[in-house]
Structures are given as structure tokens and as C-alpha cells.
Amino acid sequence: MNTDPTQQTATGWWTEAAIYQIYPRSFADSNGDGIGDLPGITARLDHLVELGVDAVWLSPFYPSPQADAGYDVADYRDVDPLFGTLADADKLIAEARSRGLRVIVDLVPNHTSSAHRWFQEALAAAPGSAQRSRYIFRDGLGPAGDQPPNDWQSVFGGPAWTRTVDPDGQPGQWYLHLFDTGQPDLNWDNPEVHEEFLDVLRFWLDRGVDGFRVDVAHGLIKQANLPDWQEPQEILSGNEIDKPRPPMWDQEGVHEIYRQWRQVLDSYPGERVLVAEAWVEPAERLARYVRPDEMHQAFNFEYLLAAWTAPAQYAVITRSLEATDSVGAPTTWVLSNHDVVRHASRLGLAVGGGRPNGIGIGDPQPDAALGLRRARAATLLMLALPGSAYLFQGEELGLPEHTTMPDEARQDPTWARSGHTQRGRDGCRVPIPWEADAPSYGFGPTDASWLPQPPSWAEYALDRQRDVPGSTYELYRAALRLRRAHGLGRGTLEWLSSGDETLAFRNGDVTVLTNFGEAPVPVPPNAEVLATSAPLTEGTIPTDVTVYLRG
């Protein structure tokens, strides 16, 4: 499908990898304080080998006041005591490597924590100082300077500006934070900021990491003069190619930064990678982040957001492949992460009903059985697509969102900042269940869990699913095994049918068929069923089921 014959197609482990996202707070707790940690992860690495993934991506574990669960970094070169020590990070990397697992760490360059030394120095320094020019400080509007410098809103709700208090106690300048007040945006027009992050890259590359997932990669450069933007704030850049782009997202200047970073990564042995978290639409714009001299991959959020219908899935898969082919990069696929409602619940909501930012008590509840059935079908389909696939911890257990979490337990800043209108992301971040009958379902040695685990989660525990035919865990293992054995990640997709009710494509010697319609679809005669997301009925593929076939 490569549309440009002069374009080299990328090769390397990452082009076809299955990459498992670990959210350290919620994966495994070694010391019983209710918060997952690095030694906990190291102790559970064999699970990932048994599952059959190629790499892990770790969400932030750096020193942080945890205003946004660690995406507010106070020191980019250390580990928060909550999660362990730098020695624990080294051990984790070494133990992963000895098992053949690659390790990607999270890099948060759009903003620091307000507790970062730089921001503290900026607060103590005068307007116009070198210390302040590492961030985006401005005088307020109006005679008293008590109006924010522009109308931008924070992604978490409320204004994107906070006024500072000068050392003499008088109200001072304002600073920009596209996210929480505890996450001041850095000024990427300042060369010192560039130097600092080049050094941070080297720090972790020297420790042996295989790459970086780059947080808010589309946000670093803001349009000059920070013009007002009347539209409601979203982390998305705009969904039509000719629509005006918001002045805070997807500005041209970000690409030069990633070209520089790419040179640093390329100067290291091995295949080190950059993965963009860029909420950029459409796919043609996103593809600009993965041109040959920029990042290696970008998360395909358009795929994650696509409706569960044959035409919508056909369109997004086709568009994604065409867009990345045009720049010689592999496509990526993702259905869940720590920022969205888990797909086992999302797909149990009415089709086309929009994208809820969290689900809580009093909200329309997903149909759990339908959601899981569709999630299994969606995952089986996804794992047969060429390119690399990202999995979020717990989805291999079929974990749903915690949709009845008491509001008092919520910790996502979104809930408070949106004036309690958006519940936010806690429901997908609940510590995961390992053993049905252990305290905290084996998450840690005690009952402590930083977010409450629902009482129904025993049934999802790993030890209830291991070696159980038909369990979601065994389905993931089988799919990952087949993906590897048949080279699906490095294969080529050839559509066989794309109707309103079914989708079918061939990838190498595997035919993949998903039935979205109401009528059962007969398995073609002589076809061998390699995998199915739910039992077949009398030789037919029921509704919301994906099968892998051969012959």
C-alpha cells in the first residue's frame, strides 16, 4: 500500500511489537502501602513473558507531588520514593532485558511539576528574568492585571492560567498550564529547555531504556502571541484537515524538536524509539510526527475512538494504513490506556453515543456482557492488523472500568477542576486483580489499594483465568502467539469484504473475519478455525465475534 516508491519502509523490533502499558501505581504493590511500585513490577515480569508481549511502556515513576498521578514531574532523573529508587529502576530494566522484554519509559516535556526546581526558581525571580523564561509567564489583562492573559481553558477544566503571588505577598504574573495548576507549561522557545531534555534523553538511554513515550507531543510549541481560542478546550487538535487548528496544539515548530531528539536516539546502539502521544487528527496530520527523521510511532487514537460498526472500522483501518504508509512508518493500534474508559466497558455503551470522560454512579451503565464480548472481538481483530499494538494492563483479564466508584474516592484532578461534571479517568486506573482470594486480589500483600477495587473483581483475577479454556486471558495469549507465529505484525492487509455487517481481510496465511451484524455468518467450508473470540454456534460465527481462519 506504500504510495511513494522512493519511501523506505521502516524495519525494527518496534514495527511489529505488542507493547504492554504498565501504570506503575496500579500494577503490583510490593510493600503493602496500596500503591504499586517498581519492585512490584519486577516481581511480576514473568506474567508478561507468559502473556507473550514484546515490550513494556511504563507510565511515569519520577519524583512528583502526584497532582496528576505522576504526569507532574519534579525531577526527570530520579524515582519517586513512592515507587522505589533509581537502583530499583536499573534492576527492573535489567530483569526485563534478561527476559527478552524491551522497556519504554514516559517522558513529559510539555510541562513540569510546580514543585520542579526550575518553577520554584521562577516564582522567586522577577518578571522578565531568565528563570521565568523557562515557562510561560505573562502579565494579566485589565488595569489591575487580574484577568488571565487569554481565554484558554485547561484540558482538565477551568482556566489554563493561574496567577502567582510575588515574594512580597502582592498578586503577580500569571503562568500557563494546559493541564493542572501543578503542571506549568515549559517555554520551548527557550534553548535551555531544549538542552535540558536532550540531557534527560541521554540519562535514560545510558541506563539502557529502549525508548520513550512522549507525553502531549503535539503541545510543546504554542502559536506566537498566544491568541484567544473561543472553542471549548479539548486535547484533540481538530478533526478536519482544513479546520483552523487550535493555537496550543499541533504547531509546526514541534517537528524540529523531534528531529533533534531522533538524532540523539540514533547515536545510540540498538533500536531506540520515540512514540508520540499526540491527539492529532486526521491521520494525515498525525503521520507528520512519524516521518523518517522524526518519531518512530504515534498512538492511533482515531482507531481507539472509532465506533464499533463494520463501516467505521473499515474506514479507520484503511485510513490509518494509508497515512502511515505515505511516510514509510508502521501503523499502531490501541484500544485502552490510562486516560480512557476501558474498552470492555466503552463497547458496552450505545454505539455512537460519544466518548464519556469516566463513568460513575448515576450515569448510564454499560452492558458488561456485551462490552466484554465486543472487546474480545475488537482485540482479536486488532492483534491481526499489521503494525504494532499497544495493550493496557488488565485488558488481558477482560477488566471493565470501575463504573460505580464512589465519587469521594476519585483522585483525577479532572473531577474537581470540571466542577464535578466530568468524572475523569480513575475508573480505568484501579489496581488490577492477580489472585481471587488474596488481600487486594493479590495487588499487594495487604488490603490497601489507592483506588477501591470493585467486589466483583475476583472473577477477573489472573488465577481464575490461567489455563481456563475460553477465558479472556487465554484468548490474549493465543492471539499473541498466533500473531507471532504468522508474522501478522509485519504482514500486509488485503481486504476481502467490507460490508455493513461483516469485515474480512487476509494477512499472510490468516483470514480474519468479524461479524458485526445480527445474522450468524457461516464459517467457509474447509476453513480451519485458529482462534475465535467467543464460541461458534453450529459452524457459524455469531454477532460480535472475530475469528482467525486458515485455508
For 157: left if phi > 0, alpha if psi spans -120 to 50, otherwise beta; the answer is left
3-state SS class at 142: coil
* Cα–Cα dist 291/490, whole Å: 19
Within 225-284, the residues that bind ligand NOJ by CB under 6 A are 277
| Closest CB 36 distance from Ca ion, rounded Å | 6
Contact 456, 405 (CB under 8 A): no
Q: Decide: residue 421, CB within 10 A, 0-12 exposed, 13-18 middle, 19+ buried.
A: exposed
Give yes or no for residue 71 binding ligand NOJ (CB under 6 A): yes
Binding segment toward Ca ion, per CB under 5 A, in 35-43, 239-247, 318-326, 405-413: 35-43
| Closest CB 428 distance from ligand NOJ, rounded Å | 10
Contacting residue, 16, 29, 37, 68, with ligand NOJ by CB under 6 A: 68
Nearer to ligand NOJ, 16 or 80 (CB): 80
Nearer to ligand NOJ, 337 or 465 (CB): 337
| Closest CB 22 distance from Ca ion, rounded Å | 14
Among candidate residues 16, 29, 210, 215, the one labeled active-site is 215
DSSP letter string, 464-531 = HHTT-TT-HHHHHHHHHHHHHHTTGGGS-EEEEEE-SSEEEEEETTEEEEEE-SSS-EEPPTT-EEEE
Give yes or no for residue 179 binding ligand NOJ (CB under 6 A): yes
Among candidate residues 37, 106, 277, 544, the one labeled active-site is 277
Binding segment toward Ca ion, per CB under 5 A, in 32-40, 64-72, 300-308, 475-483: 32-40
Count of other CB atoms within 10 angstroms of residue 520 = 16
In degrees, to the nearest 5, what angle opens at C-alpha 235 toward C-alphas 233 and 237? 95
* Cα–Cα dist 491/464, whole Å: 34
Beta bridge partners of 103: 56
Residues that bind Ca ion (rule: CB under 5 A) add up to a total of 5
Nearer to ligand NOJ, 154 or 533 (CB): 154
| Closest CB 201 distance from Ca ion, rounded Å | 28
Nearer to ligand NOJ, 423 or 486 (CB): 423
Give yes or no for residue 108 binding ligand NOJ (CB under 6 A): yes
In degrees, to the nearest 5, what angle opens at C-alpha 58 toward C-alphas 57 and 59? 120
Contact 370, 347 (CB under 8 A): yes
What cell numbers appear for 322 in the block? 494509508
User: Do β-strands 521-522 and 388-392 pair in parallel, antiparallel, or remain unpaired?
Assistant: unpaired
| Closest CB 215 distance from ligand NOJ, rounded Å | 5
- Running DSSP on this structure, what letter comes out for residue 543? T
Interface pattern 82-121 for Ca ion (x via CB under 5 A): ----------------------------------------
Is 215 one of the catalytic residues? yes
| Closest CB 60 distance from ligand NOJ, rounded Å | 9
What is the number of the residue whose Cβ is closest to Ca ion? 37
| Closest CB 217 distance from ligand NOJ, rounded Å | 10
Within 479-538, the residues that bind ligand NOJ by CB under 6 A are none
Q: From the list ligand NOJ, Ca ion, none, which binds 179 (C-beta under 5 to 8 Å, kind-based)?
A: ligand NOJ
| Closest CB 162 distance from ligand NOJ, rounded Å | 16
Give yes or no for residue 35 binding Ca ion (CB under 5 A): yes
Spatial CA neighbour of 272 closest among 289, 248, 297, 255: 297
Nearer to ligand NOJ, 41 or 69 (CB): 69
Q: From the list Ca ion, ligand NOJ, none, which binds 412 (C-beta under 5 to 8 Å, kind-based)?
A: none
Within 213-232, the residues that bind ligand NOJ by CB under 6 A are 215-216
Dihedrals φ, ψ of 241, to 5°? -60, -30
Give yes or no for residue 33 binding Ca ion (CB under 5 A): yes
Number of helices (H), then strands (E), in the chain: 14, 18
Residues near 243 by Cβ (< 8 Å), separated by ≥ 6? none
Within 287-346, the residues that bind ligand NOJ by CB under 6 A are 338-339
Nearer to Ca ion, 37 or 302 (CB): 37
Beta bridge partners of 23: none
* Cα–Cα dist 190/135, whole Å: 9
> Which sequence positions are flagged as catalytic?
215, 277
Residues that bind Ca ion (CB under 5 A): 29, 31, 33, 35, 37
Residues that bind ligand NOJ (CB under 6 A): 68, 71, 108, 179, 215-216, 277, 338-339
